[in-house]
Chains A and B, each alone.
Chain A
């Protein structure tokens, strides 16, 4: 921890004292007048072949041309989700689908100029997650044999998170949803990922076998996450619905009445170590549960009224809320380790076989410490009904009217809250 920090400090000191700077000039030639960002701009117009050639031009060109982000863009541009993973994005872009290189890729040892941004990114992509594998004092209750009444009184009504330890182990999914099991059953089926295909702006779909090859052998800072909310619509894959049951605590979901109009509410979440979600509140301030079948997930939570530190918040001209939160590893390195005790989040590590309840409005961030397989759902129950209505009304009049109509038809004795229609977040 300290060693890496001091190595980075020495590097930055060297850059300041001009030692590698001379190297930057000679190694870039005419390009040296450009900023790193402008050099990236030029390289962004190159195809695979030219970028590969640039790697052999000079020491500093090598550093720029080797950078994985650009190769990832080229892969997705050419193949969409239909790529055969070859150990890194560059090889995946350059090698034809049916060819592999058995020799592992050996990167040239760092020597001379390298953009500090690249060094930090490399560090975050490779730093061991061991430093976050334990929590001194977990802040979320663990319960078993929890009655419905106890759940409502102690957690639902109090808007308090809880981990329930005796549900998930009873699901068929607990034994069936393994890497090998899923590969065998659904290897050639398509699954939705969290990666956006910038050509069509839709999320990328990948065959499970292709995804697994990437899942097991990547070192991305923010790995592609298999995050599928449409699995109920697809042949064979929809059988997965039979492998788990929504626990009784979370029944009575008003969003069920929306039927086909219902926004996405259930996900299969399969992610490699280092993947996860940055800080966010679930849409319309619905509540959520997350059942972990395999692996370990580290959670950080802040109550609704406490904006997570280290994130940027803003309101645009229309009063819409915007936020920019860093990826989990970046947040833990840049923000978490400098927080005073009273600004630390509520924390826990969810283990395989456990289920966490995240009540409405809680900010949460998840870091997958290992390979993880989970299923998660969002819902609107009597506890958060008023708040969810306010959020919907603020966001989308048509949706609100539709929701109102359906509820009135199905549940006529529901009392409609008098919504002020004001923005849901404090300015």
Chain B
């Protein structure tokens, strides 16, 4: 027993054990606690940086005051899936701003109510998970595409606060630019 304890201590000195078996406790704003593998958590650059500051601490627990439990679980679901199914890096000339290339799993993942979708944008931004931020922003952008102004207002509960004169001015300007 002493022998294996010594080996264990030696290996943890060298960081071999801590590196690959460490899990991280994440705590949401409403006190939900989730334990995840370090590699999953580190898909968030914010968490990765926090972990670096906590290097050497035996049981790292990270509080995320800006993320509710519900959203945290969604984010972890995303990170777990993408860690297991990394997207192949395509040709360099790929247009980062196209929105018609969302993967099927990601499409399904984003089939949530609007409030959740916007909360995911905020969480992805706070946690600094670029692929998730791009995905959620693209999803909202796709909800705008192909709609008239009135349809956009209805979809997102936006008030039409133009005066009649303003609305006419904008309409005219757009009309000039639209004729092709």
A residues contacting B by CB (< 8 A) are 23, 26-31, 33-35, 38, 41-47, 50, 52-59, 61-62, 90-91, 94-96, 99, 101, 103, 105-106, 108, 112, 199
Return the chain A residue nearest B149 by Cβ.
A56
* Chain B 11-41 residues near chain A, CB threshold 8 A: none
Q: How far is the CA of A42 from the CA of B97 in the complex (A)?
A: 10
Interface status of B91 (Cβ within 8 A of chain A): no
Interface status of B166 (Cβ within 8 A of chain A): yes
Q: How far is the CA of A357 from the CA of B52 in the complex (A)?
A: 50
Return the chain B residue nearest A43 by Cβ.
B141
Classify the interface of chain A: helix, strand, loop or mixed: helix
Interface status of B115 (Cβ within 8 A of chain A): yes
CB of A42 within 8 A of CB of B140, answer: yes
CB of A38 within 8 A of CB of B170, answer: no
User: Contact string, B117-153, partner A, CB cutoff 8 A, digits 1/0?
Assistant: 0110110010000000100011011001101110011
Interface status of B99 (Cβ within 8 A of chain A): yes
CB of B159 within 8 A of CB of A26, answer: yes
CB of B152 within 8 A of CB of A53, answer: yes
Return the chain A residue nearest B157 by Cβ.
A29
- Tell me which of B42-50, B57-65, B76-84, B171-179 binds A: B171-179
CB of B149 within 8 A of CB of A53, answer: yes
User: Contact string, B79-96, partner A, CB cutoff 8 A, digits 1/0?
Assistant: 000000000000001000
Give 4 A-B pairs besides A30-B114, A30-B158, A108-B170 with Cβ atoms closer than 8 angstroms: A30-B156, A50-B145, A56-B170, A59-B166
CB of B137 within 8 A of CB of A29, answer: no
CB of A52 within 8 A of CB of B174, answer: yes
Interface size on B, residues (CB 8 A): 41
B63 to chain A, nearest CB (A): 21
- Residues from chain B with a CB closer than 8 A to the CB of A112 are 161
Interface status of B4 (Cβ within 8 A of chain A): no
Q: How far is the CA of A101 from the CA of B121 in the complex (A)?
A: 39
CB of B149 within 8 A of CB of A34, answer: no
Q: Which of B93, B145, B157, B177 contacts A30 (CB 8 A)?
A: B157
Q: How far is the CA of A50 from the CA of B141 in the complex (A)?
A: 9
Return the chain B residue nearest A200 by Cβ.
B93
A and B contact pairs by CB, cutoff 8 A, 10 listed: A29-B157, A30-B114, A31-B156, A34-B118, A34-B121, A38-B125, A55-B174, A57-B149, A57-B153, A58-B161
CB of B177 within 8 A of CB of A46, answer: no
A384 to chain B, nearest CB (A): 39
Q: How far is the CA of A44 from the CA of B133 in the complex (A)?
A: 12
CB of A30 within 8 A of CB of B118, answer: yes
CB of A41 within 8 A of CB of B137, answer: yes
CB of A33 within 8 A of CB of B176, answer: no
- Residues from chain A with a CB closer than 8 A to the CB of B160 are 57-58
CB of A91 within 8 A of CB of B122, answer: no
Beyond A41-B133, A50-B145, whether A30 also contacts B115 by CB under 8 A is: yes
Interface status of B180 (Cβ within 8 A of chain A): yes
Q: Which of A46, A52, A61, A105 contacts B141 (CB 8 A)?
A: A46
Interface status of B162 (Cβ within 8 A of chain A): yes
Q: How far is the CA of A28 from the CA of B159 in the complex (A)?
A: 8
Q: How far is the CA of A33 from the CA of B93 in the complex (A)?
A: 34
A370 to chain B, nearest CB (A): 31
- Residues from chain B with a CB closer than 8 A to the CB of A103 are 176
CB of A42 within 8 A of CB of B159, answer: no
Return the chain A residue nearest B152 by Cβ.
A57
- Residues from chain A with a CB closer than 8 A to the CB of B157 are 29-30
CB of A105 within 8 A of CB of B173, answer: yes
Q: How far is the CA of A57 from the CA of B177 in the complex (A)?
A: 17
Q: Which of B99, B122, B152, B180 contacts A96 (CB 8 A)?
A: B180
Q: How far is the CA of A28 from the CA of B144 in the complex (A)?
A: 13
CB of A27 within 8 A of CB of B99, answer: no
CB of B137 within 8 A of CB of A54, answer: no
Q: Which of A23, A34, A42, A105 contacts B161 (CB 8 A)?
A: A23
CB of A54 within 8 A of CB of B152, answer: yes
CB of B149 within 8 A of CB of A29, answer: no
Return the chain B residue nearest A77 by Cβ.
B97
CB of A27 within 8 A of CB of B144, answer: no
CB of B161 within 8 A of CB of A59, answer: yes
Beyond A55-B170, A106-B169, whether A42 also contacts B162 by CB under 8 A is: no
Q: Which of B121, B166, B177 contacts A91 (CB 8 A)?
A: B177
CB of B122 within 8 A of CB of A38, answer: yes
- Residues from chain A with a CB closer than 8 A to the CB of B173 are 55, 105-106
- Residues from chain B with a CB closer than 8 A to the CB of A199 are 93
A27 to chain B, nearest CB (A): 5
A69 to chain B, nearest CB (A): 14
CB of B97 within 8 A of CB of A45, answer: yes
CB of B174 within 8 A of CB of A56, answer: yes
CB of B149 within 8 A of CB of A26, answer: no
Return the chain B residue nearest A30 by Cβ.
B156
6 closest A-B pairs by beta carbon, nearest first, are: A29-B158, A45-B141, A94-B177, A29-B156, A26-B159, A56-B149
CB of B161 within 8 A of CB of A27, answer: yes
Beyond A28-B158, A46-B145, A55-B170, whether A101 also contacts B137 by CB under 8 A is: no
CB of B97 within 8 A of CB of A44, answer: yes
Q: How far is the CA of A11 from the CA of B76 in the complex (A)?
A: 41
